[in-house]
Amino acid sequence: MTSPLAVVTGGSRGIGRAFVLEAIKRGHRVVFSFRSRDADAAETVKMAAALGGEAVSVKGDLERFEDVDAVIDAVREQGQVSLLVNNAGIGEEFTLEQLTREGWERSIAINLTAPTFLAKAFKSDLIAQRGAILNVSSDGGVAGSLHGAPYGATKAGIIGLTKTLARELAPHVRVNAIAPGPVATEMWYAIDPAVQEQVMEREMPLKRIAQPEDIARAGLDIASWPDASGIVVLLDGGRIM
Ligand SMILES: NC(=O)c1ccc[n+]([C@@H]2O[C@H](COP(=O)([O-])OP(=O)(O)OC[C@H]3O[C@@H](n4cnc5c(N)ncnc54)[C@H](OP(=O)(O)O)[C@@H]3O)[C@@H](O)[C@H]2O)c1
């Protein structure tokens, strides 16, 4: 019997890479997408192989509809999907004053449209496999974001998407979300260091930044819980509570 197939978007680095490796450890074959960093994607493939698993990378810019379709086609070549992890996201920072229509559309496309249409594409696979979707939101989608309107709105939007699909795809497919606080990846380190320090000092009771592996382990646990659907797990070091 072949191993179940997992799809992870944004698996070249950061939290997505940790999802790929955790899925491999749990016995999945993985197809992951990435945008542009070939060397990072190759490193993820290598790390998966070192664990004795198989990860296939697919390059595609999820901002572009035709690339979303190309990723879907590449996944279909690998078999039927039983787990979809909508992880890829951008956290571009905008005040309302700085916000442009392009910036807004880009976040909507990557953070919200791509996850929706990937779920649509793999719906029948997931139903047939009694599979699961895990969407990666953010504490900023729950309590408002430091990054500004596109990030805060799309990360809240993906929570609405999670609950809607949890209803629509029940009883066959479970759909859940994880909402991390600060995680040690390039996205977090791109934030002004003074702001990072302030957040850690004033907002983080545990005074700890999560590691990508912490989020991946928790996320795949959630995706495996037979009674969980439509839930959003905040994993934010007590930031919001
Ligand atoms: N880090 C945090 O503090 C934090 C907190 C809460 C939630 N999150 C969420 O967790 C998820 C992963 O974040 P991260 O911190 O791991 O981010 P990251 O380190 O910036 O990695 C982003 C990943 O997404 C891919 N990606 C970005 N734009 C893309 C596009 N247009 N098309 C296709 N792939 C694209 C990147 O591919 P390339 O390598 O090719 O660029 C990379 O694999 C995101 O949804 C983010 O919003 C992160």
For residue range 65-118, what is the model confidence (pLDDT) as tens digits?
999 999 999 999 999 999 999 999 999 999 999 999 999 999 999 999 999 999
Is 236's pLDDT higher than 90? yes
Q: For residue 202, is pLDDT > 90?
A: yes
All structural domains of the chain with their residue ranges = 5-235
Q: Which residues line ligand 1 (CB under 6 A)?
A: 10-16, 33-37, 40, 61-63, 87-91, 110, 136, 138, 180, 182-183, 185-188
124 phi, psi to nearest 5 deg: -70, -35
Residue range 141-161, pLDDT digits in tens: 999 998 999 999 999 999 999
How many angstroms separate the Cα of 16 from the Cα of each of 9, 23, 126, 197, 206? 7, 10, 20, 25, 24
- The pLDDT of residue 2 is 84
What is the distance between the alpha carbons of residues 63 and 89, in angstroms, rounded to a whole number? 10
| Backbone φ and ψ of 183, nearest 5° | -130, 140
pLDDT tens-digit profile of 37-54?
A: 999 999 999 999 999 999
HSE-up (13 A, CA, CB side) for residue 98? 9
pLDDT given for residue 187 in this prediction: 93
Active site residue 189: no
* pLDDT of 27: 98
C-alpha 185 to ligand 1 mean position (Å): 9
Q: What is the pLDDT of residues 161-196, one digit of tens each?
A: 999 999 999 999 999 999 999 999 999 999 999 999
pLDDT at 232 exceeding the cut of 90: yes
5-235 folds as Rossmann fold (3.40.50)
User: Which residue of 43, 44, 187, 203 sits with most ligand 1 atoms within 8 Å of its CB, as the best mutation to test the pocket?
Assistant: 187
Q: What percent of the chain has pLDDT over 90?
A: 98
The pTM of the full predicted model, rounded to 2 decimals, is 0.98
